[in-house]
Structure 1
Amino acid sequence: MNKNQPRPHGPAWAAALIGVVAGAVALGVGQLAAGVINPKASPVIVVGDAAVDRTPAAVKDWAIRSFGSNDKLVLISGIVVVLALIAAGLGLLARRRVGYGTTGLMIFGVVGVAAAISRPDSGPFDILPSVIGAGAGAWALTILARRTWPVVEPGYEDLRPYRSEESTSTSPEPAPTSPEPPSPEPGSSEDPAPAGVPGTGRAELPPVMRAGGRLYEFDRRGLLTGVVVGAVAAGATELAGRALAGRLDVDTERAGIALPKPATPAKPLPAGVDLHIKELSPFSTPNRDFYRVDTALVIPQVDPKTWTLKIHGMVDKPVELTFADLLKRPLMEADVTLTCVSNDVGGPYVGNARWLGARLADVLRQAGLRSGADMLLSTSSDGFTAGTPIDIVMDGRDAMLAIAMNGEVLPQAHGFPVRQVVPGLYGYVSATKWITDIKVTRYDQDEAYWTPRGWAPKGPIKTGSRIDVPVGGSTIPAGRTAIAGVAWAQHRGVAGVEVQVDKGPWQPARLAEVPGPDTWRQWTIDWQATPGKHTVAVRATDAAGHTQTEEYAPPAPDGATGWHSILVVVK
């Protein structure tokens, strides 16, 4: 069927259905091509990454607050739903002209190409999954349209459409009697025309859809078989693409890594570091519970055997390290609390772990920092960049290239094989996961990922505190109870925590022990709870003498401020 041939009017649901199936074929074939070429070039992923890059900071902050670590799943699901709706619309267009629908699919292929090209880590072949997927979808739409509305009576293309009342009447008026048509002359190519069609001498066809001088019928069986085959093809190619994308078994590589003993082990945790209060955040956050906030829609699969870290820019001698090189260096352990700048007052995006890695300052000294350099522009394997102040890294704190977390090889979701950890800085300027490149540069010459999106170029962590017990909005029994939580002021340390009930006087809390100034600190206070509704607030003071301000400020552009308060009901 000519794709420019006008399509018949037919059931809207059938047209929408073939559009959705054609779109699914496009995504499945695109995923398969990405599995062969580059898993990160999947059309849904490149479009999703482009959407993340272009989303205003306020919207991203809202998404993180609303959906937490599920924000990426929500984004991908939303993209798929939107694409399904658009595909349904293209199916509706295709019942007019197939060319309208196929053109729409090719336009979305162009969108995928543009998104792939815009990625900072894109390769020369990353456009192919979008191109191949769009082509497969256009082909599938054409085939499905042919099966759904096949042309009937191909010998009568020249037959003009009946008026609707003529073609749909169930009891047509008898045709006037006409003389028998003359027999064709011997050797004539003209076929004898059957009687019955007014004015033509041809038999009337069944009441079928007519458009553009051709006759079509709606074939439910053709639609059903076409949709089933298309859906199976879409699912099979999607699964094959995912299997190819996961052919690098990073979990197997992780399991085969033996962690060396640190040359500088962390000191044993002091007695009393954990108050062991039910529902209070433990001093060391288990890896499975540690927060994850990053821009990667799909966790990068980085092979430690081929991983390298390049250190270049304003250095005397560029350095390139392999993972084996890193394991041979003298390693250090340190307990460090990380905090995301997106963490709102009382939020969950803060956690503490024991990290093992190579001291970053030593690696930079090996490269030789040149005078005037003030920023490390670190790059992740997925293209994310962070700008870290050099003076912070070089001032003696435990900044490192981490390879392990809480005694086990770094989990994939937290940056395997190597990530950056810098105490005292929010993660968006320091905690680059899946790190592959460090450029020694200047803030007036380069910008990191979040800076042009409205966030501050430097991100020192602000003093903060949170109430964990009792849970806000809960109902508790009257009597003696514990109010407890955590406070942090990385690289300064927490000097004191105070609690206020119903705007009464501030009462000092009892503090747990800590191994140093780079971790959070548990705190607690005993409270004689009386029946009624009560408001509880907390504030912390750091070792530099700074006390949290009551004035609330949102996370953007450089971290939230304000007192965390909760409402509880006592019965």
Structure 2
Amino acid sequence: MAGYTALAASELTAALVRPAAGPVTVVGGAAIDRTPAPVKDYAIRTFGENDKVVLQLGILAVLGLFAIILGLVSLRYRRLGAGGVLVFGIVGAAAALDRPDSAGLGDALPSLVGAVVGAAVLYFLAGKATSTGPRPRVEGTSGWSRRGFLTSSAMTMVAATGAGAMARALTGWRGQGAATSRDELVLPAPASPAPAVPAGAQLKVPGISAFFTPNRDFYRVDTALVVPKVDADTWRLRVHGVGVARPRTFTLDDLLARPLIERDITLTCVSNEVGGPYIGNARWLGVRLAQLLAECGVEPPSRGGRADQLVARSVDGMTLGSPVEGIMDGRDAMLAVGMNGEPLPFDHGFPVRMLVPGLYGYVSACKWIQDIELTTFDAYDPYWVKRKWARKAPVKTQSRIDTPKPFARPSAGTVTVAGVAWAQSRGITRVQIRVDDGPWQEADLAAQDTVDTWRQWSYRWRAAPGGHSLTVRATDATGEVQTERRAPTIPDGASGWHSVFVTVT
């Protein structure tokens, strides 16, 4: 009960100070930052987009276990039990002050207030729960009173539950400004619309991925335990650093007043295993990043520029490092404000995110971006590079079988095998299928939208009864054939051929 009250008090304080400073959030963020990359990769692979929920439940389970231990200790040693609660408050406060997005000493208040309240409640309830029977009397107690203990417990639970409800209400109220700013945002028409998607880019094959991934289904992989709710009216983007002759700060209105481009771009997460789900295709609306940098006086290294790395920072402190040359080499790198015809969802970076075709997300797709610093790769290591991921991460040529699913049981006869292949910034020119250990067969390619989007493919297989292994590989426009060599996602993306096993009946 004391632990529950401590959490409620801390969350109520966080709602008043800053919701992101709640103890579960800051301790969870600290745990993510200190988790080795292979463990993070395992969590994403095992739990998918539920990895953060699993982490939060784990933190609460640990807190619950220690609350039980401290409760038992307090039946004999009230001061020691209460002191244990204060230690947890100090840990939470230290985690809050150590966060990259820490707003200062105020972020320590939720953990400290919760600890003080929890310690006081534990000391009080332990006194009410201590009998004068065979156990040694605890200092300051006056004997057992069932009615007094139950009455105090009920009052404690009611007060804690009320504080928790008030915390949720206040947090929701504080997020209303951001929600309203998104609801009221009207996106301008693009000065450079996306070319029409060719007829035939979407195959009519049951089970194949949709050419455009709906926003609600688009993958989300990031380290934010609480999705930032940024008010578009107060959002600012600062551009500065090495070689920036004219540093500037932009508002969202500044960006929307510029000529916007609209492009179809497939994004891929470096945590995507061979055949994995962390890839999606969308129509993005935004400002051409290379043009904005040029107006600030930035030159790429090939033209004498002093900076070779662009470090993007989000409102939650995440840092991503992108090669300046790759941003300014003519590809459609952008600061996106729209996704599939609407303002960015909060999960995907509202009000502004960055994306660079052809690079994995961890070096290019900064969500909730608020700062762009030009520097060098030698001078600064962003978040993932510090954790032994590669500095530069071009997307590898990959392909995936969408249908039939692994361990499917299709009927003998003609079976359509289909899926997607991608090599952003290069494009796909060939896809081949192999049945068991037989020869490679040419698959039929759907129409290609652009080199920055995935390409669908299909193959009509005359399936004989029995168990069969289906394998796919792709070739990109440079002539590079997708490698068979299996590699894990760390340090620069997985590689290998995707296979599924089916039983034909």
State the TM bucket, normalised to the shorter chain. Answer: over 0.9
* 1:31 equivalent in structure 2: 11
**1:429-448 deviation per Cα after TM superposition (whole angstroms, max 9, x unaligned):** 00000000000110101111
Matched, 1:511 2:445: yes
The match for 1:170 is none
Per the alignment, do residues 347 and 215 of structure 1 end up closer, same or farther by CA in structure 2, a change over 3 Å counting?
A: closer
Equivalent in the alignment of 2:68: 88
Q: Does 1:232 align with 2:161?
A: no
What is the correspondence of 1:154-193 to structure 2 with a 5 Å cutoff? none
Contact 1:109/1:133, CA 8 A, preserved across alignment: yes
1:354 has 2:335 as partner: no
Distance 2:45 2:138 in 1: 55
Structure 1 residue 317: deviation in Å? 1.0
Task: Select which of 323, 330, 337 maps to 2:266.
Answer: 337
Q: Superposition pairs for residues 253-402 of structure 1, below 5 Å?
A: 253-314=181-242, 315-369=244-298, 371-402=305-336
Q: Distance in 1 between matches of 2:227 and 2:139?
A: 54
Deviation at 1:213, TM superposition (A): 8.4
CA RMSD of aligned residues (A): 1.4
Tell me, in whole angstroms, the C-alpha distance in 1 between the residues paired with 2:293 and 2:264: 22
Take 2:372 and 2:197, find their aligned partners in 1: how far apart are those partners? Answer: 33
Letter in 2 for 1:295: T
Please tell me whether the aligned partners of residues 491 and 518 of structure 1 are also in contact (alpha carbons under 8 angstroms): yes
Structure 1 residue 353: Cα displacement: 0.2
Give me the whole-angstrom Cα distance separating, in 2, the residues matched to 1:309 and 1:379: 10
- Which runs of structure 2 are paired with 1:476-491 in the superposition (5 Å)? 476-491=410-425
Instruction: Work out which of the residue numbers 114, 119, 131 in structure 2 matches 1:133.
Output: 114
Aligned equivalents of 2:166, 2:375: Cα separation in 1: 43
2:397 touches 2:423 (CA, 8 Å); kept in 1?
yes
Alpha-carbon shift at residue 134 of structure 1 (Å): 0.5
- Residue 140 of structure 2 is aligned to residue 211 of structure 1: no
1:45 aligns with 2:25: yes
Q: Which residue of 2 aligns with 1:193?
A: none
Cα deviation, residue 515, structure 1: 1.9
Q: Do the aligned partners of residues 326 and 350 (structure 1) sit closer, same or farther apart at CA in structure 2, a change above 3 Å counting?
A: same
Alpha-carbon separation, structure 2, partners of 1:32 and 1:552: 49
Amino acid corresponding to residue 252 of structure 1 in structure 2:
T
Is the CA contact (8 Å cut-off) linking 2:404 and 2:417 kept in structure 1? yes
1:103 aligns with 2:103: no
> Contact (CA 8 Å) 2:128, 2:141: kept in 1 or not?
no
1:159-197 per-position Cα deviation (integer Å, ceiling 9, x unaligned) = xxxxxxxxxxxxxxxxxxxxxxxxxxxxxxxxxxxxxxx
**Alignment-derived partner of residue 220 in structure 1:** 146
Q: TM-score, normalised by structure 2?
A: 0.96
1:422 aligned onto 2:356: yes
Asked whether the 8 Å contact 1:276–1:282 carries over to 2, the reply is: no
Task: Give the drift of 1:454.
Answer: 1.1
Give the aligned residue type for 1:524: S
Query: CA separation of 1:215/1:69 partners in 2, compared to 1, >3 Å: closer, same or farther?
Result: closer
Q: Which amino acid aligns with 1:219?
A: S
CA contact (8 A) 1:209 1:216 kept: no
Maintained 8 Å contact 1:208/1:216: no
User: Corresponding residue for 2:371?
Assistant: 437
> In 2 relative to 1, CA 272–144 (structure 1 residues): closer, same or farther, beyond 3 Å?
same
1:555 matched residue in structure 2: 489
TM-score norm. by structure 1 comes to: 0.85
Number of aligned residues: 496
Task: Assess if the C-alpha contact under 8 Å between 1:209 and 1:217 holds in 2.
Answer: no
Q: Distance in 1 between matches of 2:445 and 2:435?
A: 18
- Identical pairs, percent: 53
- Confirm or deny: 8 A CA contact 1:379 1:385 kept in the other structure: yes
**Cα distance between partner residues in 1 of 2:421 and 2:415:** 20
Q: Shift in Å at residue 241 of structure 1?
A: 1.6
Q: Is the 8 A contact 2:484 2:496 kept in 1?
A: yes
> In the TM superposition, what whole-angstrom CA distance separates every residue of 1:104-146 from its partner, at most 9, and x where no partner exists?
1111111111101111110121011111111010011011112
The unaligned stretches of length 5 or more in structure 1 are 1-20, 153-206
Pick one of 419, 422, 426 that aligns with 1:492: 426
Encode CA deviations 1:330-367: one digit per residue, 9 max, x unaligned: 00000000000000000000000000000001110111
Aligned equivalents of 2:166 and 2:141: distance in 1? 40
Following TM superposition, by how much is the alpha carbon of 1:217 offset from its aligned partner in structure 2, in angstroms? 4.0
How far apart are 1:235 and its partner, in Å?
2.1
Find the counterpart in structure 2 of residue 242 from structure 1: 168
Is 230-239 or 264-273 further displaced after alignment? 230-239
Flag structure 2 segments of 5+ consecutive residues without an equivalent: 300-304
d(CA) in 1 for partners of 2:50, 2:161:
24
Cα contact 1:208–1:217 (8 A) shared by 2: no
> If you compute each CA radius of gyration, which structure gives the higher value, 1 or 2?
1
Q: For 1:475, what is the secondary structure of its paired residue?
A: coil
- SS state at 1:541 partner: strand
Quote how far apart the aligned CAs of 1:313 are.
0.5
Find the aligned partners of 1:449 and 1:321 in 2 and give their Cα distance: 24
